[in-house]
């Protein structure tokens, strides 16, 4: 579903969009881990007045590859994919973001990849220009942005190792462990994977048949339980971690 955000005109992209407020910050579930975590209460309230709360449905895109960089956002809830187009027009998923992550390109002219909701999601969305100006006046926020950039660089290097050196079995184990660290399971410890098996295969650089085979073997060996179409329980974390680190 295609939708565009016009923050300057305060056009609500979806029915659930509404102005942020200090009260919404007080109740925010990611306030201690999001980009604004180091701000004092007054500065956080000032930042919130720049933004809008936006609800996305699975499949909605909030940023488009190559577009002018007009918005940035804190992810409050949900999972989104970062994707780029290959030369022949195919989509390549280059990253996945979760609650408390920051999306968009502050201080940049263009958006390097598209950002699309894999699940229903909620964002705290800011006009990029206003956010840049606020960050320039608040060193704590700049420090957080730098730390996020360095963390992203570390993850990129780890991902290069994953794609270049690990076997298919090790790749799938690493992917499942990452999902387990970032996603909250239900009362039975079951995680709802936001990616289809085809998308997992595309991310890991293997085939969907290989993904299915490896997950079936891990289930047989007691490392995981498969529940429904996308549910997975990490039953033996130690075995998964040993497998993921084998490469």
For the segment 195-221, what is each residue's pLDDT rounded down to a tens digit? 999 999 988 889 999 999 999 999 999
Q: What's the pLDDT at 164?
A: 73
105 and 213 assigned to the same domain:
no
Q: What's the pLDDT at 34?
A: 87
- Compute the distance between CA of residue 18 and CA of residue 9 in angstroms, rounded to an integer: 13
Flag whether 238 is in a domain: yes
141 and 196 assigned to the same domain:
no
Flag whether 91 is in a domain: yes
Flag whether 112 is in a domain: yes
56 and 137 assigned to the same domain:
yes
78 and 180 assigned to the same domain:
no
Flag whether 94 is in a domain: yes
**Could you give phi then psi for residue 129, rounded to 5 degrees?**
-65, -45
Domain total for the chain?
Answer: 2
Residue 175's domain is classified under what CATH number?
1.10.10.10
**Residue range 56-67: average pLDDT?**
94
* pTM attached to this predicted model: 0.80
At residue 65, does pLDDT exceed 90? Answer: yes
Number of H helices and E strands in the chain, helices first, is: 8, 12
Flag whether 3 is in a domain: no
Q: Model confidence at 22, in pLDDT bands (50, 70, 90)?
A: low
Q: What's the pLDDT at 7?
A: 44
Nearest Cα residue to 145 out of 104, 96, 94: 104
Q: The domain containing residue 91 runs over which residues?
A: 18-160
140 and 183 assigned to the same domain:
no
For the segment 107-142, what is each residue's pLDDT rounded down to a tens digit? 988 998 999 999 999 999 999 999 999 999 999 999
Tokens standing for residue 46: 């000032």
Mean pLDDT taken over the chain: 86
- Compute the distance between CA of residue 75 and CA of residue 99 in angstroms, rounded to an integer: 5
User: Residue 245 region, left (φ>0) first, then alpha (ψ -120 to 50), else beta?
Assistant: alpha
Q: Are 150 and 97 in contact (CB under 8 A)?
A: no
Q: Among 115-119, 147-151, 157-161, name the most confident range.
A: 115-119
Q: CA-based angle 174:225:178, to the nearest 5?
A: 20
At residue 66, does pLDDT exceed 60? Answer: yes
- Compute the distance between CA of residue 207 and CA of residue 200 in angstroms, rounded to an integer: 9
At residue 153, does pLDDT exceed 90? Answer: no
**Could you give phi then psi for residue 144, rounded to 5 degrees?**
-60, -40
Flag whether 59 is in a domain: yes
140 and 174 assigned to the same domain:
no
Q: What's the pLDDT at 182?
A: 87
Flag whether 139 is in a domain: yes
Rg, C-alpha atoms of the chain: 19
Flag whether 13 is in a domain: no
22 and 139 assigned to the same domain:
yes
Q: What's the pLDDT at 209?
A: 97
45 and 154 assigned to the same domain:
yes
188 and 209 assigned to the same domain:
yes
139 and 171 assigned to the same domain:
no
- Compute the distance between CA of residue 178 and CA of residue 183 in angstroms, rounded to an integer: 8
- Compute the distance between CA of residue 68 and CA of residue 30 in angstroms, rounded to an integer: 27
Q: What's the pLDDT at 17?
A: 52
Residue 94's domain is classified under what CATH number?
2.60.120.10
- Compute the distance between CA of residue 189 and CA of residue 152 in angstroms, rounded to an integer: 28
For the segment 1-14, what is each residue's pLDDT rounded down to a tens digit? 344 444 443 333 44
Tell me the C-alpha to C-alpha distance, in Å, between residue 35 and each of 3, 18, 44, 108. Answer: 25, 20, 10, 17
């Amino acid at each position: 579903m295609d939708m565009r955000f016009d923050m300057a005109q305060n056009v609500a992209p979806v029915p659930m969009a509404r102005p942020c407020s200090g009260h919404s910050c007080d109740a925010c579930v990611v306030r201690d881990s999001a980009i604004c975590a180091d701000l004092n209460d007054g500065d956080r309230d000032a930042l919130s007045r720049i933004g809008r709360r936006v609800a996305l449905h699975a499949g909605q895109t909030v940023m488009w590859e190559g577009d002018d960089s007009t918005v940035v956002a804190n992810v409050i809830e949900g999972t989104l994919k970062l994707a780029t187009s290959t030369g022949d027009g195919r989509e390549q998923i280059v990253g996945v973001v979760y609650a408390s992550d920051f999306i968009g390109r502050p201080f940049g002219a263009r958006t390097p990849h598209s950002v699309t909701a894999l699940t229903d999601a909620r964002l705290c969305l800011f006009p990029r220009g206003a956010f840049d100006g606020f960050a320039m006046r608040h060193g704590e926020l700049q420090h957080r942005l730098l730390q996020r950039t360095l963390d992203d660089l570390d993850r990129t290097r780890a991902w290069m190792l994953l794609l270049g050196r690990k076997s298919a079995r090790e790749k799938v184990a690493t992917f499942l462990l990452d999902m387990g660290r970032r996603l909250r399971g239900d009362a039975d410890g079951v995680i709802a994977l936001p990616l289809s098996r085809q998308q997992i295969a595309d991310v890991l650089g293997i085939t969907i048949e290989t993904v299915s085979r490896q997950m079936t073997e891990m289930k047989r060996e007691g490392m995981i339980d498969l529940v429904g179409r996308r549910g997975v329980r990490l039953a033996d974390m130690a075995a998964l971690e040993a497998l993921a680190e084998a490469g």
